[in-house]
Structures are given as structure tokens and as C-alpha cells.
Structure 1
Amino acid sequence: MTAQVTAQVIADDAEALAVAAALADEFRPGASARDTERRLPRAELDRLSAAGLLAVTVPAEHGGADVRAETLAEIFRLLGSADGSLAQIPQSHFAYVNVIRRQGSAEQRKFFFAELLAGRRFGNAQSEAGTKHVQDIRTRLTPRPDGAYDLTGVKHYSTGALFADWIPVLARAEDDNLHVAYVPSDADGVTVVDDWDGMGQRTTASGTVRLESVTVPADRVLPHHLTFQGPQLHGAVAQLLHAAIDTGIAGGALAEAAEFVRTKSRPWFESEVETAAEDPLLIQRFGELAVRVRASEALLAQAARAVDAAGEHLTDDTAAEASISVAAAKVFAADAAVEVAGALFEVSGTRSALDSLNLHRHWRDARTHTLHDPTRWKIQHIGRHVLNGTRPPRHGLL
């Protein structure tokens, strides 16, 4: 297990947003240095845990704030605007909290929600390399005579696992259905390798998890396949947080570009103005970029409200509307993040390309994060829904 912290318990949505805003302001000044030095944000994650921010979706009957999806999305947008790597780390944490909310037994919910309120963190061990596709999971849960399971497999892109107390592992049981095994990070047979070398999101430590005959008690295994039998919001919430990270990166890049132009850029001689901030062509471009960011924020908020509405009255139709709304927000935010982070150099001039300034971290984070799952398929599902009324499929990426 990771070093334990004493965690506060956040009371409601308003407190959660205030804490997130304060932490984003705290994390922002060190983001560039963490990226340059590839200094993993253990201290910052401990601050998230201690502040109670990682337990805000614990149900009220278990002592949590049970915040709205709109609040959770805004938390991730704020963190993403400060540090695109740091914001990515707890995304899977909340996805696997939702698995417990939906599929956990009363005892499992009681145990794990208490862990969360105490500041414990979930990582993830989900994706595998070299398989046919992303849903081709080959990690296995094999029953033992004593009722427990042996867990064996290799996972890649395991964001958060290096910093986790519990590692949720996606695996197939003997019936070939998908389950989630919640494994202590220090369990015998678990090895977490910090071998992530992505060009962006450099400090997420999204490396490899090796599982060699790990013993998992039966009460630490949840039937994830049941999540997708009937209307569900698992995929919509997970994708909403990805959209929030992209939206945050776009906003952070725009803010840094504006500060750079105001304080460091020289005006182009043909503009005949005293400062770069007075250049009418730069003003035009900043206006265009601001519209992109504002539209991303508006679509994100609208999608989050659709998720909240569906949660209050979950049907096939409300779940479909939530998924489509989130898909639209994700498509737009992904494009905006890459465009705005790239336009930072266009508006800031030659000096902004200096490696020592590390302004390219915004684009690297955006480009890396937006590869998580292809927006082209989201556009397909949106089009089918609009044209033919076809509900989107039920899976964790939509």
C-alpha cells in the first residue's frame, strides 16, 4: 500500500468545487517543472487524497458528498487546466468507484467506501498490449479450491497503479465474462513497472502491471459484465471525465498563451502598435480560440447535466441521451484541446518554441490524451442517433 494520509471528508458540491479550485491553483505553478523533470506527482496526489477530493462520489448513506456529475466534471476541468498529467491519474479511480456503486454487494460497498473516505486511491489495470482489440482481455481469474481466485496477466497503460492503494484489474473468469478484481498494490505477485515513455502526460506513470498467480479473495471480485446489461451510465461518466480533462487543457493553454503575449511577445512591425496584445490580428485569433474553449465548457456542462438527469430516471432513452451528449462534448473538446494548444505557438511567436519554456507540454498532453479512444466512432454514434434514432452501444467507452 502507498503511504497513508489523514483525509478530510467533503460535505457537498460547493465544498468540492472550492477545494478543487484551490488545489488547481496550488498545482499549476509546478506543472512545467514536473513535466520537464518527469517528477512524479506523489505529493500532489497525497494532497488530493488528504483534501477528500477522491471520495466525493461516495454515496451519502455511506458518509460521502455524492456530488453531481456536473460537479465531478468541473473538478476534472479545473485540475486539467492546471496540469494535464495530474488530472488524468484519478480518472480511472472514479470509474472503478462507479463499478462498486453499481455492482458491489452491501458488504463490498461498506468496505470500499470506508477505504475511499479514509483517503485510499484506486489505480487501474485494464488495457492489454498485443491483443486483437481493446476489448480482447486475456487476463484470467481462475477459481481455487478454497473459494478464492488466482489472477494472472499483464496490463499496459495502467494509469494510477504506481500511486494506488488498490489496483482494480479487469479480467475474465472461467465463464469468460469480465470481472473486476480489486487487488492491494502490495499483494504478493503484483509488480508495477514505471516504464511509461509517452511524449505527453509524462508524469502519469501509465506503465505496466504484472500479475503472477495473485491470490484474490472472492469478496474482492465484482461482476463488471453485469454493468452493461440494461441502461447504464458507466461509460458516459468515464468519458465525461476525459472530456473535462481535454477542456481543461484547452483552457490552460489559452490562459498561458494570453499571459505570454501580454508579457513576453513583441508586436509585429506591420501592426504599428506598441504591444503585441494590441495587434488586431492577434486579438482576432484569441477571440476565435476563446470561442472554442467556451464552447467546450458549455458542451461539457450540458453533457454533465444530461448524465445527472439520466441518473435520476435511468431508462434506455435517458442513458442514450447522456451517452450522446457526452460523446458530442468529447469530440469537440478533443479537437479544441489540440487546436488551442497548437495555436499557442502561432500567437506567441518564435520564442515560444524554446524547449526551455516547455510551452509545448500543453500540446503534448492534449495530443497524447486525445488518443485514448477515437472520436471518429463517437461521431458515427451521434450520426446514427440523430438520423435513425439508433441508441449507442453499451460499453465503457461511450
Structure 2
Amino acid sequence: MSTPVSTPVPSAHVIADDAEALKTAAELAEEFRPGAAERDARRLLPHAELDRLSASGLLAVTVPAGYGGADVSARTLAEVFRLLASADASLAQIPQSHVVYLEVLRRQGTAEQQAFFFAQALAGRRFGNAQSEAGTRHVQDIRTRLERRDDGSYLLTGVKHYCTGALFAHWIPVLARAEDGALHVAYVPRDAPGLTVVDDWDGMGQRTTASGTVRLDGVPVPADRVVPHHLTFTGPQLHGATAQLLHAAIDAGIAAGALAQAAEFVRTASRPWFESGCDTAAEDPLLIQRFGELAIRVRAADALLAAAAEAVDTARGNLTDDTAAEASIAVAAAKVTAAEAAVETGSALFEVSGTRSALDSLNLHRYWRDARTHTLHDPVRWKVQHIGRHVLNGTRPPRHGLL
């Protein structure tokens, strides 16, 4: 396999363990927080910040220990994403696919593929994604095709949308169907001939994820860069639970960030309502009541996130139909709660902060915009359905990548 020619990244540090991963994430979150509002307002793409993430080693913490990585727990991984999202939700979402497609390699890659791509991750290389498509019947109607050539290699053709991370990536994992209809993932270098990344994302939130379009016009793909992803779903699996755990962590982080921002604004910039009889807004008993309610929602989201991560860790240690089902259900509960907390807290920020908080120049609305946009990723109403079926009838959730 050849290394892609792409933008150089600084030499990456190799994180040793969970404790170092958490410490690094907390430090980077504090570093990224001050510039988040301006990056969002002016749509300044976070190239420098992603290079910092790469150099820190944080993007390689899921690499298995046998290949030189820290192989951190799901509990640690979820907290890493929650911390980053509390500072900048767009920045936290970019590596979500990076982690997910490293997990695809863990599950279905050959020893040679794992050795090569895990080394790439440890060196600071970033993996994007080209997964979703627009205009199809539904989200799993994948029409991008891998056509096998006489020499055993492939040609990749299709158009992908919402390709978070692709613009910043060194490798772009592409979800495609082979001629027999089976799902595969092709790992394609960012500068491959026939591959074009279009920066056309214009969502109201998550503005700097650069979740644009990837066009694949007869992209050549060697056979050793293709992984049979369809095999992931033939038995108990944690692909969906891991992916959704990270989405839940991002929502929980948005909620925490919005609550902290609201509290800071009320303490420093809000006036008390004249009928309260208080000298400061922070003494207003009605505001205190509302902050208590919001804090409970955020704490509930954090607690369910931690419980879900524990369920994923348990299933990783003993993967069966039952442990995989429990992990998926636990993650679904966390995702529903975190999504609701993020949207509510992002909106309530204005309720508790007053008229001045609505000034566009302050860009406090980014929390609600990010929450509202990110929580549209997949409908939580179906997660509630699967939880209910499991509780009432013992029905295991389906095996797919969205649960």
C-alpha cells in the first residue's frame, strides 16, 4: 500500500493510556473554546485545530494495543468527544467518522490492512467519510458502486453528500456496493485521481464541519484497500453502538457548553428583572429554579452517556447477541436524552439570559443551531421504538449502523 500525498501533519505524539487521553482532551477543549464563536460566525475552517488534534495523538487513541495504540475504553472515548463538543461542536464532529472507520478495520480488516492503516492513524493521518447519499429512497439505499477489474482492483463511481471530515482528510473511507450488492468500505487517498471534494456545506449549524460533497468518477482502488463491511452485520456487532455513542457524546457536550455559557452570561451580563427585588440576575429565584432544571437535564444526559459507554465496554469484553443488544439499547437511551438536553439547553440559554443574548454579534445561538442540526443525524423517535420493543417484548434491536 502506498501512503497518500497530502498536506503534511506535525509528528504525532502517541498517547499511552486513558488518563492521558482525558487530560489531553480537557486541555485541547480549553484551547479550542475561545475561538469557537468566531470560527462559526465567519465559517473559518479549523485546519490548524485539526492539526493540533492530530499532533496530540488524540485521534489514534482507539488503535489496538497490539498495534501500538492506547486502545482506550468506550467510557474514555465518549468523554473525550463530550469535552471537545462542549468547546466546539463542529470540531468534535469531524473525527467521529475517523474513529468509526478505524473500528471497521478492527472488525473486518486483514492483518496487513490493520497494520498499515493503524500506523497511519498513529502517525497523525486523518480519516474522513463518504457515506451518505442524497436523492435515494432512504439512508441505506447506497448506489455508489465498486466495479471489479480484471486485475482484481476496483473502480469506484458515485456521489456522496454530508461527507464530514473529507475536506480535512488524508484518507476517505467510501461506503459502496460491489456488483453483488454487498456493502464494502474502500479506503481512498484524498488526492486519488477521479476523487473531488466539494466544499458546499451550508447548514445553519455545525458550520465548520465542511460536510460537503465527494464525487467519485472512476476512482481506481487497489484490492487491498477494500474491506467487506457487510460481514460486520452477520453476527453480534458494536458498529452502530460505537458510532451512536459518539453522536450522543457530542450532543451531551453541546448541552454542557450551552449551560456553562448561560450561567456565565447571567452572572456577568444580565440584569435582574425589576419585580424580583434582587440586586443581580444570579439571585433571581425563578432563574435559579430554571438553571436547576437545566442542570438536571444535562446531568441525566451525562449519566446515561457514561452508562451507555459502560455497556459498550462490557459487550466488547464478551460480545454476544444479548450484550450487543444491551449496548445498543443503552446507547439509544443516551442519544435520546442527550439530543433533548442539547436542543432544550441551547434554546433556554436565551430564556434565562434576556434580550441582549439574542444579539447576532455574540453568536450565542450557535449552541441551538449546532444542537438542532446535529440531532437531525438520525431520528430519535425510532430509538424510542426500539427501546420500547426491547423492554416490553424482549425484542433485540436490528443490526445496522444507526443503532
Q: Which AA in structure 2 matches 1:371?
A: L
Does residue 1:259 correspond to 2:264, yes or no?
A: yes
**C-alpha displacement at 1:29, in angstroms?**
0.3
Q: Which amino acid aligns with 1:207?
A: G
SS at the partner of 1:119?
coil
Give TM-score scaled by structure 2 length: 0.98
Amino acid at match of 1:181: A
- Which amino acid in 1 is paired with 2:312? V
Cα deviation digits, residues 46-101 of structure 1 (max 9, x gap): 00000000000000010000000000000000001000111110001100000000
Q: Counterpart in 1 of 2:319?
A: 314
1:131 alignment counterpart: 136
Q: Which residue of 1 aligns with 2:166?
A: 161
Correspondences of 1:330-369 after superposition (within 5 Å): 330-369=335-374
The match for 1:11 among 16, 28, 33 is: 16
Residue type of the alignment partner of 1:113: F
1:27 aligns with 2:32: yes
Deviation track 1:296-330 (CA, whole Å, cap 9, x = no partner) reads: 00000000000000100000000000000000000
Instruction: Report the alpha carbon displacement of residue 146 of structure 1 after superposing the two structures with TM.
Output: 1.4
What SS class does the counterpart of residue 252 from structure 2 fall into? helix
* 1:112 aligned residue (117, 142, 149): 117
Q: Separation in 2 of the partners of 1:147 and 1:386? A: 47
Paired-residue identity, %: 80
Alpha-carbon RMSD across the aligned residues, in angstroms, is 0.4
Q: Is the 8 A contact 2:308 2:334 kept in 1?
A: yes
Cα displacement (A) at 1:4: 2.3
- Mapped partners of 2:7, 2:349: distance in 1: 38
Contact 2:166 2:172 in 1 (8 A): yes
Match of 1:388 among 378, 393, 402: 393
The equivalent of 2:3 in structure 1 is none
After TM superposition, the structure 1 = structure 2 runs for residues 163-178 of structure 1, keeping only pairs within 5 Å, are 163-178=168-183
- Aligned equivalents of 1:162 and 1:143: distance in 2? 27
CA deviation string 1:170-203 (max 9, x = no partner): 0000111000000000000010000000000000
Q: Does 1:245 align with 2:239?
A: no
Cα shift at 1:5: 2.0
Deviations 1:326-350 (A, max 9, x none): 0000000000000000000000000
Structure 1, gaps ≥5 residues long = none
Measured in 2, the distance between the counterparts of 1:371 and 1:299 equals 20
TM-score (norm 1): 1.00
Equivalent position amino acid for 2:109 in 1: G
Shift of 1:2: 2.7
- Separation in 2 of the partners of 1:226 and 1:70? 26
- 1:185 alignment partner, one of 187, 190, 206: 190
In the alignment, is residue 73 of structure 1 matched against residue 73 of structure 2? no
1:295 aligns with 2:287: no
> Which amino acid in structure 1 is aligned with residue 251 of structure 2?
D
1:245-278 C-alpha deviation (Å, 9 max, x unpaired) = 0000000000000000000000000000100000
Structure 1 segments, 4+ long, off by >3 Å, are none
User: Does structure 1 residue 43 correspond to structure 2 residue 45?
Assistant: no
